[in-house]
Structure 1
Amino acid sequence: MSEQLKVEFTKRIVALQERVDSIHGDFAEGRAADWSEQAGERENDEVLNALEAEAKIEIQQLSNAINRIETGTYGVCSECGENIAEARLKVQPAATKCIHCAD
């Protein structure tokens, strides 16, 4: 089970890194000469920056989850030491706290 999770998390990390690389490619294309187009591009840049930030956070969380799998602490609440419910891990695979401690 833990090896399967590591594979799933690694695949997700690769997909997220590809997204970040794609965002960097969009930024590298440069700006249009037209002022109105530039305004639209700036708005797009804000969205791309937010998507990139979210992807990087998820990459870090999944990397940390892989480390916890390797050390045998995955699924254990970092706060109280109890097991994190499977349902919570399905929804938030990188969770570090049980539902009670996360509040």
Structure 2
Amino acid sequence: MSEQLKQQFTERIVELQQRIDSIHQDFADGRHADWSEQAGERENDEVLNALESEAKVEIQQLSNAITLIDNGNYGYCQKCGEQINPKRLAVQPAAIKCINCAD
């Protein structure tokens, strides 16, 4: 099961990296000369920056989860040491704390 999780996490990391690459390509594309279009592009840039930041955070979380799998510590709370509820991991696979310690 742990190898399957690592594969899922790795695939998700690849997807997220592709998203980041696409965002960088959008930034690299030229700007319009029209001022009103530039204003719209700047608003779009804020959204793209937020998406990029979220993708980077998720990549880091998934990378950490892969490390925990490799170390045999995946699924255990890093604060109290108790096992993280499998339902929590199903919703948030990169969770590093149980629900009690996450608050």
- When normalised by structure 2's length, the TM-score is 0.99
Identity %: 75
Task: Tell me how far apart the structure 2 counterparts of residues 31 and 8 of structure 1 sit (CA, whole Å).
Answer: 37
**Partner in structure 2 of residue 73 of structure 1:** 73
Task: Tell me how far apart the structure 2 counterparts of residues 51 and 59 of structure 1 sit (CA, whole Å).
Answer: 12
**Partner in structure 2 of residue 96 of structure 1:** 96
Compute the RMSD of aligned alpha carbons: 0.4
Residues 1-103 of structure 1: matches in 2 within 5 Å? Answer: 1-103=1-103
Amino acid paired to 2:41: E
Task: Tell me how far apart the structure 2 counterparts of residues 82 and 99 of structure 1 sit (CA, whole Å).
Answer: 10
For structure 1, the residue ranges without an aligned partner over 5 or more in a row are none
How many matched pairs? 103
For structure 2, the residue ranges without an aligned partner over 5 or more in a row are none
Cα offset for 1:31?
Answer: 1.1
Q: Which runs of 4+ in 1 moved over 6 A?
A: none
Task: Tell me how far apart the structure 2 counterparts of residues 6 and 70 of structure 1 sit (CA, whole Å).
Answer: 9
Alpha-carbon deviations, 1:55-101, whole Å to 9, x = none?
00000000000000000000000010000000000110000000000
